[in-house]
A and B are shown apart, each in its own frame.
Chain A
Amino acid sequence: DAGITQSPRHKVTETGTPVTLRCHQTENHRYMYWYRQDPGHGLRLIHYSYGVKDTDKGEVSDGYSVSRSKTEDFLLTLESATSSQTSVYFCAISAEGTEAFFGQGTRLTVV
């Protein structure tokens, strides 16, 4: 397995609280991505990064922000969690022209 870990693996939080999910890689890959997986929607891209401090929005970026201060870490922040953000979040990494490797996912429940 590619060296990619997500933390936490499970989290329950209350509506309106901020939440940060972490993705850590040991592969030194340039590209990192955050997706959310929902039944009936498949995986949808939230944000991605193409280098340190270089990020861009994906398809469903509203309510989310990201930061990448070093190559190995990509953080996803929900500024004020809502119930619609209850989902499974996957981080992925890739080098140029290679396949994407996925983390094991974070199951987030907003109550």
Chain B
Amino acid sequence: AQRVTQPEKLLSVFKGAPVELKCNYSYSGSPELFWYVQYSRQRLQLLLRHISRESIKGFTADLNKGETSFHLKKPFAQEEDSAMYYCALTPGAGSYQLTFGKGTKLSVIP
């Protein structure tokens, strides 16, 4: 069975400081990895997926298969980045249901 671990429940950083949200996963196959973001009382929305290799809102994430990690990074945090962030995976190979981590609440201090 697959599992996604986000070790930090809460991460507080000052505006302008670098941000790294950690995500580790366990799955024996070749999963697809995602980061979803949920702003206060809004629906979840996709931030990044590893196959697209895009940078969204200044965030990037690199899949490290050796360390089974998919950490989310941003060089300079902004106040509008304050939100709940979820790392998730799908098993791939025609299976699309997401398994989520427990989430990390990012708070950017002005």
Contact = CB atoms under 8 A, between A and B. Distances in A.
Interface residues of A, number: 24
Nearest to B51: A97
A91 to B, nearest CB: 10
Interface stretch (B12-20, B39-47, B61-69): B39-47
Interface stretch (A18-26, A36-44, A65-73, A76-84): A36-44
Contacts of B86: 42-43
Main secondary structure of the interface of B (DSSP, over half): loop
B34 A90 contact: no
B44 A102 contact: yes
Contact of A33 (B46, B98, B101): B98
B43 A103 contact: yes
B74 interface: no
A48 interface: yes
A94 B96 CA distance: 8
Contacts of A99: 34, 46, 49
B31 interface: no
Nearest to B46: A99
A105 B43 contact: yes
Given A48-B97, A58-B97, A42 B102 contact: yes
Given A42-B103, A99-B34, A90 B44 contact: yes
Given A40-B9, A42-B102, 12 more contacts: A31-B96, A40-B102, A42-B6, A42-B86, A42-B101, A45-B98, A45-B99, A48-B97, A90-B43, A92-B98, A97-B96, A105-B43
